[in-house]
Amino acid sequence: MSEFVCKLGTPSGEIIEGVYTAESAAELRKDFERKEYLIYTLRPRNLIAGLLRPASSGAGKVTPKEFLIFNQELVSLIHAGLPIVACLDILIERRKNPAFRKALEEIRERVRSGAALSEGFASYRHLFPPIYASTLASGERSGEIESVVRRHIKYTKTVIAVRKKVFAAMMYPAMLLVMAVGLIGFLILWVMPKFASFYEEFGADLPLLTRVLMGVSELTTRNAWVVVLGVVGGWLALMAWTRTEAGRVQFDRVKLSLPLVGSILHRYSIANFTRTLGTLLEGGIPLVEALEIASPALRNQAFRSAVVKTSVSVREGQPLWESLEQTGLMTDLAIEMVKVGESTGSLETMLSNVADFYDEEIDSDLTTLTSLLEPAMLVIMGFLIAMILLALYMPLLESYSTSRM
């Protein structure tokens, strides 16, 4: 998916600006025209600016936790019988995030002018989850906004909980890796040159292992800027490639094929898709529309592209299970449960069951992975550091043993 900076005129006469994501500029333009928006400008987002954007720019985003708290407060106010505009008035005062506050203020003005709440959130797709506006729209049609917001809260809590599990499980191995790279870098870039100058004055014949590591240290220290520029340039090239549609699809496919980690990412993508689709169907949204809404909510571009193709096949009359099977990304279990759900009229229940099942699988896989990864990394770290220390002190030990003879 690519990002585009757009300046638009709404059917109500307002001018809005924002960043939108789409497969292509033509598709985004077509989407705006379908919604009767007047397009003033539509240009690709500056790639270099996006790559070099500082971390502090996160103030222009709404985190899942912030949005969860907002919805919990919103549903409480709606349950108390307050009108939507009054709810927004109260909620705006409690928002500390400037981008969030500004968006809510503009949404409130739209609602005051007669627009639906879902239409207001739909114009801020770059700030809020893609499925939220459609979920609100289904609640507005049925007159059950409170229930659909509660359903979205439950969905968000589950997604956040799964992400926390993945993050917590990978935190310790990541810290070990950073410490290992830092320590080995310190030994090679700082300690090894000191020993090299000492051994040069000493004039002794060095063992092969010592000479090899000395050569690596000398090559690295002499060409430090080349190494740094190479790493930074490679990272920027990778980021630029993954910003393209084809590059992102290929990169995400590679991640799914990684040993051990790939299977976890695969299950996570399936759980994310089935949970999102099930939540939308439970809210009364038709299947084809739910598939179109679910695709932008998926983080993995390979899955996202597959869901887009699936929505086209389903629109043409093909069963969902058969369309998913053709993607080659869904597991046999997921396909079979979707097939049963379609045949029995309980598709949303089966999708929820698939998501719950894979959540448990992910939890089990993460436990197994961390139990194997942590000792393996410790052994590898110990081996590499021991080799470096052995290379450093081996000439001294050989010299000492020679002098004793």
Mean pLDDT of 24-44: 79
Q: Is the pLDDT of residue 104 over 80?
A: yes
Q: Is the pLDDT of residue 56 over 50?
A: no
DSSP 373-396: HHHHHHHHHHHHHHHHHHHHHHHH
Task: Give the Cα separation of 277 and 352 in Å (integer).
Answer: 9
Residue with tokens 């999102």: 276
Taking the domains of the chain in order of start, what are their residue ranges? 1-52, 171-405
Task: Give the Cα separation of 77 and 92 in Å (integer).
Answer: 13
Q: What is the pLDDT of residues 328-386, one digit of tens each?
A: 888 999 999 999 999 998 898 999 899 989 888 888 888 888 788 878 888 888 888 88
Q: How confident is the model at residue 204 (pLDDT cuts 50, 70, 90)?
A: low
Task: Give the Cα separation of 72 and 116 in Å (integer).
Answer: 20
Task: Give the Cα separation of 326 and 310 in Å (integer).
Answer: 8
Nearest to 272 by CA among 172, 167, 355, 156: 355
Task: Give the Cα separation of 314 and 295 in Å (integer).
Answer: 14
Four-residue CA torsion sign, 323, 247, 289, 163 = positive
The class level of CATH for 171-405 reads: mainly alpha
The per-residue pLDDT for 35 is 79
- Lowest model confidence (mean pLDDT) among 8-22, 26-40, 123-137: 8-22
Report pTM.
0.67
- Residues in the chain, how many? 405
Q: How confident is the model at residue 45 (pLDDT cuts 50, 70, 90)?
A: low
- Lowest model confidence (mean pLDDT) among 48-62, 105-119, 142-156, 289-303: 48-62
Q: How confident is the model at residue 214 (pLDDT cuts 50, 70, 90)?
A: confident
The per-residue pLDDT for 94 is 85
Q: How confident is the model at residue 251 (pLDDT cuts 50, 70, 90)?
A: confident
The per-residue pLDDT for 53 is 45
Q: For residue 260, which phi and psi values (nearest 5 degrees)? A: 65, -65
The per-residue pLDDT for 319 is 92
The per-residue pLDDT for 401 is 65
The per-residue pLDDT for 59 is 44
Q: How far is CA 205 from CA 192, 200, 210, 219, in A?
A: 16, 10, 10, 20
Nearest to 329 by CA among 405, 397, 249, 401: 249
Beta sheet of 38-44, edge-to-edge order:
15-22, 2-9, 38-44
Mean pLDDT of 94-123: 87
Q: How confident is the model at residue 298 (pLDDT cuts 50, 70, 90)?
A: confident
Q: Which tokens in the block code for residue 34?
A: 């379908």
Q: Strand, coil or helix: what is 204?
A: coil
Mean pLDDT, the chain, rounded, equals 82
Q: Which tokens in the block code for residue 319?
A: 């069963």
Are the beta carbons of 267 and 361 closer than 8 angstroms?
yes
**Which amino acid belongs to residue 208?**
L
Task: Give the Cα separation of 28 and 30 in Å (integer).
Answer: 5
